[in-house]
Amino acid sequence: MEEAELDSLLNSIMNRKLLILIAVGSLFRLSAEAGEFLRFEGSSDLPGSGRHIVLISGDEEYRTEESMPMLAKILSKRFGYETTVLFAINPDGGFVDNQYQKNIPGMDEIATADLVIIGTRFRDLPEEQLKPFADYLNAGKPVIGIRTATHAFKTPNKTGGIDWNNFGRNILGENWVSHYGKHKVQGARSLVHEKNAGHGILQGVGTIFAESDVYEVKAENVNDENATILLTAAVTHSLDPASPNVPGMIPQPVAWLKEYETPEGTGSGLSFCTTFGSSCDFDDGNLRRLLINAAFFLTGVEVPAETDVSYIDPFEASAYTNHRTSDYYRELNLKPADYGYGKSPQTGPSLEKMIQEGNQKAGPLP
């Protein structure tokens, strides 16, 4: 082959590769434009400028489809982060469906993330959706896990050499153990872990009351030797914020930092976990401040004395419950765009009713 012909062939191959890359990038953009996930642009004049946070919803009970867009709006509008919110999407109709465990479009967005915030439960994602997260974890990048992220995955896939069923234990510090309190009857109240009371993440964070109950955490998995415990949580008599702590029940770690070993064993990363995290828990501004302070800390942004965590759009959280079937979400027929600016749909039953019923079951103080 003549040199000119060879040059022409090589140029043709390179042009084809470029077109393929452009096409792939276009597909990712079209995925957002087609409504499979949600993106909020950042701002150049705010502390989070130039940083990208991906928030992954998808749990059957605690309404991360409500809380993740709410948090993303605050992070973008008030602090300048670019944020992307991913949802569990039922391919048969394209609606948000937390009961559908096998599809979270937009996981490729993690490739450009500076932080991932995850609140999934028992997801069984295909390898092509797990791979970007596997690459992210093997690079030792930071992770925040809320509530059911301790049991984020339930899958036979070993993408990236990762034991996804032990994501909670290996990355965050703990798997699902048990409810350490009566579900939908007893609440949770935070207590500062005195050893780390001066940690920056706790700046401006007062006492948190959560309507979701306390999760049990095994002492051998999260303790002062292997984690930085920031808060513990006491079980309260009822779902009334004024109710006293239940005597005899040991406060459990509820918010901590932990260094994780990368799945390939070549490095380490840092995670923050809180077992608070039902959408109704976030009606307490102190929990919103805790989470956003953790995002600052993990992305190298100075934590202010008191972070402004006021809502961007009015936010009324639902009660937590597991609907057990996709039919409920099919009837709602909500799409990611329905959670954009100016919108905060409630997706579940009345929180007020759940609290009333829980307090009735708790009964009077002994």
Report the pLDDT value the prediction gives residue 26, as an integer from 0 to 100: 38
- Full-prediction pTM beyond 0.85? yes
**Is the distance from CB of 222 to CB of 342 less than 8 angstroms?**
no
Burial of 194 (0-12, 13-18, 19+ CB in 10 A): exposed
Can you tell me the distance from the alpha carbon of 80 to that of 21, in angstroms, rounded to the nearest whole number? 28
**Is the distance from CB of 294 to CB of 334 less than 8 angstroms?**
no
Report the pLDDT value the prediction gives residue 247, as an integer from 0 to 100: 96
Report the pLDDT value the prediction gives residue 5, as an integer from 0 to 100: 53
Helix axes 64-79, 285-298, angle to 10 degrees: 60
319-336: string of b/e by CB count within 10 Å (b at 16+)? bbeebeebebbeebebbb
Report the pLDDT value the prediction gives residue 366, as an integer from 0 to 100: 79
Kindly list the structural domains of the chain, giving each domain's residue range(s) and its CATH number in brackets, ordered by start.
36-177+253-346 (3.40.50)
| Cβ neighbours for 47, distance < 8 A, ≥ 6 positions apart | 79, 80, 296, 301, 302
Cα angle 165, 167, 171 (rounded to 5 degrees) comes to: 160
The per-residue pLDDT string of the chain (366 residues; one tens digit each, 9 = 90 and over) reads 454 554 554 455 445 544 433 343 433 344 454 589 999 999 999 999 999 999 999 999 999 999 999 999 999 999 999 999 999 999 999 999 999 999 999 999 999 999 999 999 999 999 999 999 999 999 999 999 999 999 999 999 999 999 999 999 999 999 999 999 899 999 999 999 999 999 999 999 999 999 999 999 999 999 999 999 999 999 999 999 999 999 999 999 999 999 999 999 999 999 999 999 999 999 999 999 999 999 999 999 999 999 999 999 999 999 999 999 999 999 999 999 999 999 999 999 999 999 999 999 999 987
